[in-house]
Structure 1
Amino acid sequence: MKMYQGRQQVDRRVSRKQPGTTLKTVAIALAGVAMIILIGFSGWFYYMLAKLPKVDRLADYKPPIVTQVLGDDGSLVGEFFLERRTVVPVDKIPRKLIQAFVAAEDSNFFQHKGIDYFGIVRAAIKNVISMRKKEGASTITQQVAKSMLLTSEKSYSRKIKEAILASRMEKKLSKDEILYIYLNQIYLGAGAYGVQLAAETYFGKGVDQLNLAEIAMLAGLPKAPNSYSPIKHMDKAKERQNYVLERMVKEGYITEAEATHARSTVIAIKPLKKVNSEQSAYFLEQIRIQLEAKYGEERLYKEGLKIYTTMNAEMQKGAFESVQRGLKEVDKRQGFRGPLKYLAESEVDQFCKQVEDGIDGPSLRQGSTYQGVVTKIDTGRGDLTVRVGERTGTLTRKNMGWAGKVALAESFGKPDEKGKGLSLGAVIEVSVQTPDANRAGAIFALDQTPLAQAAIVAIDPRTGGVKALVGGYDFKKSQFNRAIQAKRNPGSAFKPIIYSAALEKGLTAATIFEDSPVEYDSGKEKAWKPKNYDNIYRGNVTMREALTNSINVVSVKILEQIGVNAAIETAKKLGITSPLDANLTLALGSSSLTPLELTTAYATLASGGYRPTPYFVTKVTDSEGKILEEVPTPRIPVFNSSTSAVNITASSSGLLTTTPAANPLDPVPVMSPETAYIITNLMESVVTSGTGQRARALGRPVAGKTGTTNDMKDAWFIGFVPQLVAGVWVGYDQEKSLGAGGSGGQAAAPIWTEFMQKALAGMPIEDFKAPPNVTFALIDPRTGLIAREGSEGAVTECFISGTEPSSAGE
């Protein structure tokens, strides 16, 4: 029994020790884990310190600067940038502006050492009271550290890094140096980085010209630049401005009287003329490709280069507008394709919010096109109420007349099986005829984005400088540059090259050819029978009449007579580099060319036989004005009726001066001036009485030629005056017929004519001057022979001296 009791006592003793042992073990384990965590954190912390970026480089702050692209008159026509910024020294920034940003963003900036501990406590209390994060506590120094040295990730580790770097920055940099970085680095909305560019963007003035009201409005932007934008939300911008003014009064930077005056100051949004990169996009992309290959991406986008180009800003604007308007006319002739989509009633508000976010001003721009939603239909009158973002307007039946009869339904959903009808919730494109007032009352016209494409290129024939270039309807939707990259059949627009070769071979404008059906062995079962476009055969015609009326059969017969190789040789001399078909179909433009190639060939004719080299860039300088490259102005061959060709250049004043210096871009003589003049004279007849009569609207001497390919897949018009040559192509990327009105004279010539009317506005009217070796004589167009004075039907024809035909009866 005793033994048994003894064992019980031992067991009880062991039982009493067990809980303490367990707790001790747990404590030791927890201490071990804590030690591991501490060691791990310490290791991570020291590793993080070692990996933190150096703040020393901020002492030599060089942010990305906008590279500017300038037109031929020095005006700004484009920009290349990663961040759109203009750097301004801190001593050029008004003290009031510095105080405004400090008051609004970091009131203790001049007292703290990078971290505002009092601000952290204050923000924490406010956030606890409001039960949500309502206020942050990052100092200006921390914001600079985040912007310049860290990523924008949201994590505790980044906040720790930010605080450490801020402390380091305060030891390395003065307060003014930190402010210099901050005020030039900060994003202030509307694509503007830094206070200088923001001042220009919103108020059209330099930062040193801002008044207190404008200063307070700028200082209110960092919290939410888009939400407080004075361009889009002036009411919210004024609220934020008032907050900044209150903070400035509280900090003692201004008096209450100054704040009151600033509140009552009328804010005028007068941004400097913004670069319309949309209208210049294809031109800019061409030079971007060239210069990025030469200077590298880093230098082009960050180092503030100045790129001087051949672009004429007004011509470029005119080219863009003419292509847009011309394509819409071509497209509308094919009919209304129906709404872009149909929305359910519950989807309308969200869709309109997305549209509103894309509108960059307080009102809709006249002439611009937007996507709108039909919200009301008057089936009796046929008028529609259309909502564009947060705005409403009226689309009258008259302003959608081009669409023909369209089914209307006062309900949501498709009103017809084909999906071309309009109902509530229908999303359509509308252009603004009368802008909205107070977000209501706009007058719209029905519109639709064209499916066809177009290209236009304009060249100064005396220099080769490309004055304007558009490669498609919308660069944002397609970066394919059809002016330079698209190879399409030129059709009859190639005929002047054939006729030039014929003149070089000794034929004359009075040479007679028989316009009659003909067939050729094609090597296939079926013979090739070229046909005239109008299926009319005119019998004997002169070369002038054949080109004027674009007679296909005669063009083929001319090519047959002079030989295909002669025509190909002439084409290459004129600037055609694409492969050409070595057969008689070449006479009808069967070989694909780019608009730039064909326009260059015409420019050779316009310059009197000198082939220019198209170029885009004249000079490039770095941010300090050092010239990196410069192209001397190519020498210009000039002819008049009493002298032979001389080479001269355009000086900076616009006057012409002689120069003996050689230039690789100088136009190269490839054709006699006599031949160039005569083919130009023949193409004047195309405009005055042939297929290119739309160009007569210019009211000045014009030479040109239309081109239309089989099934109207391609439409062309290339034409020129002595000062400018331009080529227009219209067609679908995936070849198909342009349909009704798709010929060169109907689809391309109107675009060309509208562009040239704008481009030549203010330019003096010039005649095409004949070289001294060109003579004029009366001929009988039925025989091609010299006619007596007063002979019935006689016409004046031009010849190279010595090639005049004989008189009748000789």
Structure 2
Amino acid sequence: MRLLKFLWWTCVAIFCGVLLSLSGAYLYLSPNLPSVDALRNVQLQIPLRVYSSDNKLIAEFGEMRRTPIRFADIPPDFIHALLSAEDDNFANHYGVDVKSLMRAAAQLLTTGHIQTGGSTITMQVAKNYFLTNERSFSRKITEILLALQIERELTKDEILELYINKIYLGNRAYGIEAAAQVYYGKSIKELSLAQMAMIAGLPKAPSRYNPLANVARSMERRNWILERMNKLGFIDQARYQAAIAEPVAASYHVPSPELNAPYIAEMARAEMVGRYGSNAYTEGYRVYTTVHSDLQSNANDALRDGLQEYDQRHGYRGPEARLPGKSMDAWRQAIAQQRPLGGLEPAIVTRVEKSGVMVLLRDGKDETISWDNMKWARPFLSSNSMGPVPRQPSDVLQAGDVIRVQRRDDGSLRLTQVPAAQSALVSLNPRNGAIMALVGGFSFEQSSYNRAAQAKRQPGSSFKPFIYSCALDNGFTAASLVNDAPIVFVDEYLDKVWRPKNDTNTFLGPIPLREALYKSRNMVSIRVLQSLGVERARNYISRFGFDVQELPPNLSMALGTATLTPLEIAGAWSTFANGGYKVSPYIVDRVESRDGQVLFQANPASVPVDDTAQVAGQGQATAQPTAAPAEDNDPAHAKTTYEPTPAERIIDARTAYIMTSMLQDVIKRGTGRRALALKRDDLAGKTGTTNDSKDAWFSGFNADYMTTVWVGFDQPESLGRMEFGGNVALPIWMRYMGAALKDKPSHVLPEPPGLVSQRIDPVSGRAAPPGTPGAYFELFKAEDTPPPMNELAPGTSPGSGMPADEGTPMDLF
């Protein structure tokens, strides 16, 4: 009896000691325990996602790939697989499984090392959300106490939902939905039973059981989980046998953009970081840009095709590298390290034959490039010369050459090369400045430098419309005669002489401003600026959105020597396209929270609706920013309503209309005649080419799209003697605008009141009497109509249209 009493009181003492220890631990730790209520409103890190205006994914930014999923959307098979692997008693315990803890304690006592933590899913939720990975008894006790609290506050379904959205599953995937996308490129709901078991096996050790890193070990873990599911009655024998027989089909799936617009994505990312700081990468913001996927795809294709066309007519610069004497295995390793650039795939020449060459592609396949698809490749010598025409494939390539190829529409491969020149394209909605498409270079992978928004280059003659607009608002008319003749400027203090010239080095004598613009005569632009005065012109032109300090304080400004970005040019040109209003380019239309609430809605300065109406019968214009996707009917996603901010009028509507008419003549009979191939009557634009053809431009519009294209080298050098805006930049503009305007009606702004059309004598620039040879109709502001020569008002300069105190015949002639 004494022995039994001793054992009894010993057990009681041990029990009381354990109870007192636990009570003491609880009293000590409980004041510092976090509130479980925080789990009800937990905000998991979700990456920043950027979309087009029509809801196409452009890019994703953030360290963690995560797509939260609700418990109701989790397939039952996955829940059973997870419970079989991690906590088969989950439905019965209250946060702590005593058997598992005792088993973990026994392993610690027998081995001296912690083998397993004995944690339930609830305890793992406590650790993942509130604690660190430190291995200590105090942390374990805290974990147990939190698990007990969590079980009291949350349902089993809520606990599982928290767990499966938080756990790390390798390869930057957090949560089961992200893991399913990374390993299988599918939603968790689309996976097979075997694939779900594979995902369920990852929480134990994502690096050890990763099917990408160790196929054998991951399959062993998967099959063990399937066996457990069978033993626990979650699946029958037939499903078990079918699942373990399924091969491992996992592969790395990077979330691929639905739209290739990396320069747009980077602009949106930078704006979001500026707005929200580092939280932009973790709060699950959804950014909807103004870009439409069709227009952006057209812009990508137009720019790449145009650059390759220019590049190839200057010859082949040779392979990117030579790997002579290498084995086929070495070549396979070498080509696997290459990456596509701008849609051009890398390849290695393996054999040269008379009919073409055999090449090894990145996917390990061997294909042929026929002689017809490579005989263009005359050797490049300089921007102005090429070597002899090749007569056979061996004149162009040899075995071991690392080259670029392009897949043609018929499936064949064509020899190509990454262009040395670069380009930028910007297309805006001229009514509010929304960026409809933007490309900052041939390939973002090759260079992330955004030439559309960052490259300041001289616009050349595409700047002249701003000079002419200033002239029209200061007494000149489209019929004013200005002398296209040589002019010399001498700096008596520096002993320097400036002799500007036309690009053809020819002179036409007195010609109307309209003709001077569509023929791009430099001498006329200089004389006009000289008559206006440089400071007056600089102040006027700064209204278009240019920094006045960026505008040259001398007559060279008439030739476009200011350094401006394509985005600045496009924004300024929009004034002509929209009837005289200033708009500012913008890229982010709205920002939504992870819950779909609109956090930001762009409200750009927009042209009043009445001023964007089209000519009757030609369609309907809109002046509102891009709306939310039409298929999204969730009221939480509805765009915030607002009163549009009216844009500021910066030039007379009549000036904008006359300038548009003059710029239409650039296309109809001037340096932009190539654009007649589009067979539209609503296009206006202007070419631009700088000295030595270092920069080539074309800016043009109708009432729907204002598009600017620049082509040049990053380190300025000549594009070639015969390369101009009209045959380098204009073809890119045409490809884009042709696709953008396909099947769309002509869209021109209506003629504003206060304009008159009058017959003009081409010799005097005055109103023409009946029977005047070569007389033509010209547009004038009502107050600027020229009188007949015999009615010339006193104090007016003949042919200039300017008051005598503003200029003399010598200034213009």
Which residue matches 1:498? Answer: 467
- Residues 277 and 731 from structure 1, CA distance in 2 versus in 1: closer, same or farther, beyond 3 angstroms? farther
Matches for 1:101-116 after TM superposition, within 5 Å? 101-103=82-84
Which residue matches 2:450? Answer: 481
Alpha carbons 1:464, 1:667 under 8 Å: kept: no
- Residues 798 and 238 from structure 1, CA distance in 2 versus in 1: closer, same or farther, beyond 3 angstroms? farther
Which residue matches 2:584? Answer: 613
Which residue matches 1:539? Answer: 509
- Residues 255 and 766 from structure 1, CA distance in 2 versus in 1: closer, same or farther, beyond 3 angstroms? same
Matches for 1:211-250 after TM superposition, within 5 Å? 212=193, 215=196, 219=200, 228=211, 248-250=229-231
Secondary structure of the residue that 2:497 maps to in structure 1?
coil
1: CA distance, partners of 2:285 / 2:267: 17
1: CA distance, partners of 2:725 / 2:488: 26
2: CA distance, partners of 1:420 / 1:99: 65
2:376 to 393, 398, 402: 402
Deviation at 1:683, TM superposition (A): 0.5
1: CA distance, partners of 2:237 / 2:372: 57
Which residue matches 2:48? Answer: 67
Deviation per CA, 1:282-332: give whole Å up to 9, x if none. 22322322332222212x111112333322232223223322332233333
The yes-or-no answer on 1:304 pairing with 2:284 is yes
Deviation at 1:464, TM superposition (A): 1.8
Alpha carbons 1:72, 1:312 under 8 Å: kept: yes
Which residue matches 2:71? Answer: 90
2: CA distance, partners of 1:235 / 1:402: 51
Deviation per CA, 1:507-559: give whole Å up to 9, x if none. 11111122222212244434211111112222222111111011111111111
The yes-or-no answer on 1:698 pairing with 2:669 is no
Which residue matches 1:715? Answer: 696
- Residues 629 and 640 from structure 1, CA distance in 2 versus in 1: closer, same or farther, beyond 3 angstroms? closer
- Residues 161 and 775 from structure 1, CA distance in 2 versus in 1: closer, same or farther, beyond 3 angstroms? farther
Which residue matches 1:525? Answer: 495
The yes-or-no answer on 1:467 pairing with 2:436 is yes
Which amino acid counterpart does residue 331 of structure 1 have in structure 2?
A: D
- Residues 761 and 517 from structure 1, CA distance in 2 versus in 1: closer, same or farther, beyond 3 angstroms? same
Deviation at 1:751, TM superposition (A): 1.7
1:333 to 290, 294, 313: 313
Deviation per CA, 1:39-58: give whole Å up to 9, x if none. xxxxxxx9xx99xx989789
2: CA distance, partners of 1:573 / 1:673: 15
Alpha carbons 1:493, 1:705 under 8 Å: kept: yes
Alpha carbons 1:65, 1:86 under 8 Å: kept: yes
Which residue matches 1:734? Answer: 715
Calculate percent identity across the aligned residue pairs: 35
1:562 to 522, 526, 532: 532
- Residues 250 and 776 from structure 1, CA distance in 2 versus in 1: closer, same or farther, beyond 3 angstroms? farther
Which amino acid counterpart does residue 441 of structure 2 have in structure 1?
A: G
- Residues 512 and 634 from structure 1, CA distance in 2 versus in 1: closer, same or farther, beyond 3 angstroms? same
Which residue matches 1:391? Answer: 365
Which residue matches 1:657? Answer: none
Deviation at 1:113, TM superposition (A): 6.6
The yes-or-no answer on 1:369 pairing with 2:337 is no
- Residues 641 and 755 from structure 1, CA distance in 2 versus in 1: closer, same or farther, beyond 3 angstroms? closer
2: CA distance, partners of 1:314 / 1:273: 23
Alpha carbons 1:195, 1:207 under 8 Å: kept: yes
Alpha carbons 2:615, 2:750 under 8 Å: kept: no
2: CA distance, partners of 1:547 / 1:705: 9
Which residue matches 2:553? Answer: 582
Secondary structure of the residue that 1:324 maps to in structure 2?
helix
Alpha carbons 1:434, 1:444 under 8 Å: kept: no
Alpha carbons 2:434, 2:625 under 8 Å: kept: no
Which residue matches 2:389? Answer: none
2: CA distance, partners of 1:641 / 1:59: 56
Alpha carbons 2:579, 2:749 under 8 Å: kept: no
Secondary structure of the residue that 2:263 maps to in structure 1?
helix
Secondary structure of the residue that 2:489 maps to in structure 1?
coil
Deviation at 1:606, TM superposition (A): 1.0
Secondary structure of the residue that 2:783 maps to in structure 1?
coil
Alpha carbons 1:115, 1:166 under 8 Å: kept: no
Which amino acid counterpart does residue 570 of structure 2 have in structure 1?
A: T
Secondary structure of the residue that 1:527 maps to in structure 2?
strand
The yes-or-no answer on 1:747 pairing with 2:728 is yes
Secondary structure of the residue that 2:374 maps to in structure 1?
helix
Alpha carbons 1:71, 1:313 under 8 Å: kept: yes
Alpha carbons 1:620, 1:628 under 8 Å: kept: yes
2:522 to 542, 552, 569: 552
1:294 to 275, 280, 288: 275
The yes-or-no answer on 1:343 pairing with 2:323 is yes
Alpha carbons 1:555, 1:587 under 8 Å: kept: yes
Secondary structure of the residue that 2:449 maps to in structure 1?
coil
Matches for 1:767-786 after TM superposition, within 5 Å? 767-786=748-767
- Residues 317 and 666 from structure 1, CA distance in 2 versus in 1: closer, same or farther, beyond 3 angstroms? farther
Deviation per CA, 1:205-243: give whole Å up to 9, x if none. 7545656466457557776799857xx999999999888
2: CA distance, partners of 1:495 / 1:257: 79
- Residues 679 and 255 from structure 1, CA distance in 2 versus in 1: closer, same or farther, beyond 3 angstroms? same
1:422 to 370, 382, 397: 397
Q: TM-score, normalised by structure 2?
A: 0.75
Which residue matches 1:23? Answer: none
1: CA distance, partners of 2:396 / 2:116: 53
2: CA distance, partners of 1:237 / 1:394: 40
Secondary structure of the residue that 2:477 maps to in structure 1?
coil
Which residue matches 1:128? Answer: none
Which amino acid counterpart does residue 574 of structure 1 have in structure 2?
A: F
1:572 to 528, 537, 542: 542
The yes-or-no answer on 1:685 pairing with 2:665 is yes
Which amino acid counterpart does residue 565 of structure 1 have in structure 2?
A: E
Deviation at 1:187, TM superposition (A): 5.6
Alpha carbons 1:519, 1:530 under 8 Å: kept: yes
The yes-or-no answer on 1:673 pairing with 2:642 is no
The yes-or-no answer on 1:593 pairing with 2:573 is no
The yes-or-no answer on 1:446 pairing with 2:426 is no
Deviation at 1:503, TM superposition (A): 0.6
Deviation at 1:202, TM superposition (A): 7.6
Deviation per CA, 1:377-402: give whole Å up to 9, x if none. 13322322323242322222222233
Deviation per CA, 1:477-510: give whole Å up to 9, x if none. 4333222222111111110011101111111111
2: CA distance, partners of 1:451 / 1:159: 61
2: CA distance, partners of 1:487 / 1:558: 25
Deviation at 1:743, TM superposition (A): 1.8
Alpha carbons 2:591, 2:599 under 8 Å: kept: yes
2: CA distance, partners of 1:618 / 1:603: 19
1: CA distance, partners of 2:465 / 2:419: 31
Secondary structure of the residue that 2:530 maps to in structure 1?
helix
1:623 to 570, 574, 594: 594
Alpha carbons 1:642, 1:771 under 8 Å: kept: no
Secondary structure of the residue that 2:517 maps to in structure 1?
helix
Alpha carbons 1:199, 1:205 under 8 Å: kept: yes
The yes-or-no answer on 1:315 pairing with 2:289 is no
Q: TM-score, normalised by structure 1?
A: 0.75
- Residues 266 and 395 from structure 1, CA distance in 2 versus in 1: closer, same or farther, beyond 3 angstroms? same
Secondary structure of the residue that 1:423 maps to in structure 2?
coil
Secondary structure of the residue that 1:402 maps to in structure 2?
coil
Deviation per CA, 1:542-593: give whole Å up to 9, x if none. 1111110111111111111222122212211111125211111111011211
2: CA distance, partners of 1:346 / 1:166: 59
Alpha carbons 2:352, 2:397 under 8 Å: kept: no
